[in-house]
Structure 1
Amino acid sequence: MPFRGVRLWLLAFAAFFLMIGGWALAAPYDGSADEHDHIYRAVGIWNGDLAPEPANAVRGSGAFVRVPRGLVVPDEPCWQFKPGMPASCAPEPTSDATTVRVGTGAGRYHPGYYAVVGVPLKLFPGWSGVLLARLLTGAGAAALLAASVVTIVTYFRRRLMLAGLLVAVTPMALHFFGAVNPNGLEIAAGVGLFTALIPLLLGRLDTVPRGLLVLAGTSAVLLASLRPTGLVYLFFGAVALFVPFRREILLRLWASTAARLWIGGVVLAGLVNVGYTLAFKGTDMGSAFRQPVTFERGQALVYVMHYWGEWAKQLVGVFSWLDIYLPGSMYVVWHMAAGALLVFGAAFGHWTDRWRLAVLVFGATGIPTFLQWWFLNETGFVTQGRYMLPGLVGVMIFAAWVLEERGLPERAGRSLTRLLLVTVVPFHVFSMLWAMVRWRSGLPDYGKIGLVSLWPLSRGWHPVVGSALPTLMLVVGLAGLAWLVWRLSVPVVTAVATTGPAVDLPEQDGRDDSDRDDAELATRRP
């Protein structure tokens, strides 16, 4: 029985949610960058601080909000930024609901995301609320990723875009899917947006499918609302896929009432985000990150370009408070996989494909790099690699689509997808176990750590639910995803009946379409 529709979505959602849930349950309180700031902002909304007055609250920016005392972290962190220090030195969150006033660096941010994840934090202060807020973010991300899988299977016969999705969802993305942080949901929205827009704008559809509109519209609204950077990625994604214009596509979209409503909703969400950001100075980073010296433009450019090596690592995985680095070879392998998709996508693509890839790459990396360079003396070094992921996931997915449409035959595409699958699955397992070692006992020197150290039940600090459960969730989720992708990567021959839906038929005689095409071409040669 082929995987389709709701059944496929449920299977994919379960796999992604288990993977994300493993990260959510494994991390200590405040276990990802700035998580306590986002928790303060979220619960503060439900204590009446929906739009707090901008103030010099944290690092010269932010605002003051009211939060339960049990969620407040010490002023001086004891393990953050210290890779050799375990998380056991920090106090755990408690259910003490006494309201206190604290500063948060996220106090000026758009309240939409925080109003949702703040509900469990308000109702269940302490570990219960924190874990539920993390899992709520993870459920949203898993829903978007599962919908992307359904879209790929439904609208692309060769399904090579699954390879792009595997490379796009890095361990760093999983880490933030399972954290209280809008950046994680923003990355998942980038995956959903590009997966839906490619068949909607570049496909051969005669109608405007409702499912594609819902996925594209929901993802676009999230990108337009969660963070100001999402508007940049949304703009460049639209430019890349709408230009050159295809008049028939635009007329078909405009003729759909649902499409017009979604477009209006995205525009409204973007305007609200811009208005709120300007009114509450949401882009003011304060003065804490400014360098002690003033850079000339040329010096600033060299400094920023030098830092790109660090950003590239952060795209794959530099966890917690940017103090958990993976072994260097893992970055090399993942960068090679991403680079292969991009380079071969550009090589096999038409000039319009190369134009679109160039626009997507420029929007995802060029704009953040330019802004960091131009405002280096005013803001200091504030850019991180994960901020670029919502745009770069589109690059990977589009490059895989180009290979599917222009380059690789079915057999080679299937092999590429499965090769990437068997590569990334152990990387995901190692990444979370490596982070758990750091939180449990601190990371010793490389010469003093071995594979035995990865055993999750070793002595030291453990999550409130124990280490076995999150490890099991990650492994089961990855196994489910691997099984799904392995099955879905098998090409199908679509036979369209005179009435009724398309029927998927298996390949015949072990030969795919590429073999038959090559044989037919050979008979035509003189």
Structure 2
Amino acid sequence: MTATASPNRPAHRSIRVFALALGILFPLMLLWSFASPLGSVPDEPSHFVRAAAVAGGQISGTAHPDLPTAMLAYVPAYVENTHQAASCLAFEPDTSAACITPVTGDPNRIVDTGTSAGANSPLYYALVGSPTLIMSGVKALYAMRAVNALLCSVMLALTFLFLSLLPRSRWALTATAVSITPMVLYLGGSVNPNGLEVAASGALLASCLALGRVNSTGWGLAGRVTAIVVSGSLLMATRSIAMLWVLLIVVAALFLSDTAVLRTLLKKPLVWTGLAAAAIVGGATLVWNLNPPDIQPPPFAGAGAGALPTAVDMLLRTFDFGEGWIGLLGWVDTPPPGLALIAWSIAIGAIATAALVLGARRAKIVLAGFGLALLLVPAVVQASVIAELGYIWQGRYTLALLLCFILLCGVALDDSAVLQPSKQWRTGVSAVAILLVLAHGLTMYTGLKRYVVGAQYTWWEMVVQPQWQPFGSWELVLALCVVISATGALFVYRNLTGRETPDA
């Protein structure tokens, strides 16, 4: 049985946790938005087009007559021009952002163009594309990024909030903070559903755990049910494979829930209402995914290879995708610095090892399941499409699973209550925290250098001969990133090493 907290547990701590998380994550994502030129994130121009088209009322469409690999979309001229604006940067890490042409075009002139994101659910794009209804030009494009950043940061802040409601949450909160890599922030500061996929996965898992492990009534119950429906709906709206993430998360949360709490929940009409709403959204999303627009993605390298050799190859390359977990920037052309790979390898490795050795038995079973999913899902999915599409898999496609895995490592440690504060491990935690802050800053520096002067140059050329500058300057963006990251690390450290009295 899982220890359950009182439904009357004071909420002020959780509200404070939410506010702190939002106040740190939203500015960090905005900084990444400023540090990345418009259209410089993978497939972002197509996502701009899809979002503007959906916001303008075009929910679906047909293949473009001249581009059978893209859906025909009708958008304002300035949105269509994002395809060309940053095309000089794609896969050219040594080219600075000085090559970008200004995003121009009459906002009142609707033109036809193509988008490779036509198969995705329209819900995400309706939200992100909403700024195009009230503004235009560069301001609208950055506002779209800001909406995505707000959605992602709110989902992640809710993750922290609901974890803080658990009887013990010291390690769960710490593990979740570790799971927010520079790649999560980079995607959050762009127009790409991958960022919301990661953030909503965390919110769904945390809200399900809070509902199934902690007695709740009144507004507390309503809030948890609402969060589950909203985060689950947003998650399913990101990519078709996200429906698998929803299934894994719900099964894991049920397995880790308290039986007595579940029995009580089944007697509440509000819970059944929430289940019905979730089923309706899930059904509608499934219908959409089974009837996508008739477009044919272009084949990539490896097309025509055998399924079995591909699956074996993917299994052998599992950790080669780690760069995509940590910070593979640009159009997957700028790898993260070595320090970042080392820092997160140490942090994730330490948390996972401690959880698998010292964690509670039930949680370790769930961890094993998510570990297998991290290993097998890429292999199975890639093998199933290799004949027609070739190699398409990227590390960021399993970022949502990774976040859930690390979060559950923290839950496993909290449930066992074995690893308690001591002077020795506090020193180790301090060292890792400092290492992660430096890694966040160095990854931001790497991304800025790629755009300010090009990846082949040094910091000195950035100082004396910058070819491109983000808002303010690259020095200001980098300094703010380090300061805000350090502030977040300090709060996490204080939570981990402070006193925790569980309600049981």
What is the TM-score with the length of structure 1 in the denominator? 0.85
Task: Quote the offset at 1:88 in angstroms.
Answer: 1.3
**Aligned: 1:332 with 2:327:** no
- Extract structure 1 runs of 4+ deviating beyond 6 A: none
Which residue in the other structure is 1:505 paired with?
none
Count of residue pairs brought into register by the alignment: 488
Asked if the contact 2:70/2:116 (under 8 Å) is kept, the reply is: yes
Unaligned runs of 5+ in 1: 497-501, 503-526
Which is further off, 299-308 or 409-418? 409-418
* Residues 400 and 493 of structure 1, relative CA distance in 2, 3 Å threshold: closer
Identity across the alignment (%): 23
* Residues 418 and 397 of structure 1, relative CA distance in 2, 3 Å threshold: farther
Task: Quote the offset at 1:161 in angstroms.
Answer: 1.3
Kindly provide the CA deviation profile for residues 142-193 of structure 1, in whole angstroms up to 9, marking residues without a partner as x: 1122222233334344511122112211111100000011111111111212
Which is further off, 458-467 or 118-127? 458-467
Task: Quote the offset at 1:458 in angstroms.
Answer: 5.2
1:455-466 to structure 2, matched below 5 A, reads 459-463=466-470, 466=473
Kindly provide the CA deviation profile for residues 491-521 of structure 1, in whole angstroms up to 9, marking residues without a partner as x: 335498xxxxx9xxxxxxxxxxxxxxxxxxx
In 1, Cα distance between equivalents of 2:431 and 2:222: 33
Aligned equivalent of 1:385, options 378, 392, 395: 395
Kindly provide the CA deviation profile for residues 341-376 of structure 1, in whole angstroms up to 9, marking residues without a partner as x: 222212223442222112222334422321112321
SS in 2 for 1:160: helix
Unaligned runs of 5+ in 2: 1-10
Aligned equivalent of 1:173, options 174, 184, 200: 184
Task: Quote the offset at 1:396 in angstroms.
Answer: 0.2
Which residue in the other structure is 1:87 paired with?
97
Aligned equivalent of 2:52, options 43, 46, 51: 43
Kindly provide the CA deviation profile for residues 86-120 of structure 1, in whole angstroms up to 9, marking residues without a partner as x: 11112121253222111110122211011111121
Kindly provide the CA deviation profile for residues 431-455 of structure 1, in whole angstroms up to 9, marking residues without a partner as x: 11210100111111xxx63x55665
SS in 2 for 1:66: strand
Aligned equivalent of 2:442, options 430, 436, 444: 430
Task: Quote the offset at 1:20 in angstroms.
Answer: 0.7
1:263-278 to structure 2, matched below 5 A, reads 263-278=275-290
Asked if the contact 1:46/1:119 (under 8 Å) is kept, the reply is: yes
In 2, Cα distance between equivalents of 1:246 and 1:407: 17
SS in 1 for 2:404: helix
Asked if the contact 1:43/1:121 (under 8 Å) is kept, the reply is: yes
Aligned equivalent of 1:251, options 263, 280, 286: 263
Which is further off, 402-411 or 485-494? 485-494
**Aligned: 1:239 with 2:251:** yes
What letter matches 1:108 in structure 2?
A: A
Which residue in the other structure is 1:111 paired with?
122
Task: Quote the offset at 1:262 in angstroms.
Answer: 2.2
1:371-450 to structure 2, matched below 5 A, reads 371-406=381-416, 408-412=418-422, 418-444=430-456, 449=458
In 1, Cα distance between equivalents of 2:290 and 2:145: 28
Kindly provide the CA deviation profile for residues 284-310 of structure 1, in whole angstroms up to 9, marking residues without a partner as x: 662332535x32344323432344343
1:496-507 to structure 2, matched below 5 A, reads none
SS in 2 for 1:67: strand
What letter matches 2:367 in structure 1?
A: L
Aligned equivalent of 2:75, options 58, 67, 75: 67
SS in 1 for 2:31: helix
What is the TM-score with the length of structure 2 in the denominator? 0.88
* Residues 178 and 76 of structure 1, relative CA distance in 2, 3 Å threshold: closer
Task: Quote the offset at 1:23 in angstroms.
Answer: 0.3
Task: Quote the offset at 1:9 in angstroms.
Answer: 2.4
**Aligned: 1:25 with 2:34:** yes
Which residue in the other structure is 2:238 paired with?
226
Task: Quote the offset at 1:337 in angstroms.
Answer: 1.8
In 1, Cα distance between equivalents of 2:66 and 2:432: 45
* Structure of higher CA gyration radius: 1
In 2, Cα distance between equivalents of 1:172 and 1:426: 15
Asked if the contact 2:17/2:164 (under 8 Å) is kept, the reply is: no
**Aligned: 1:487 with 2:487:** no
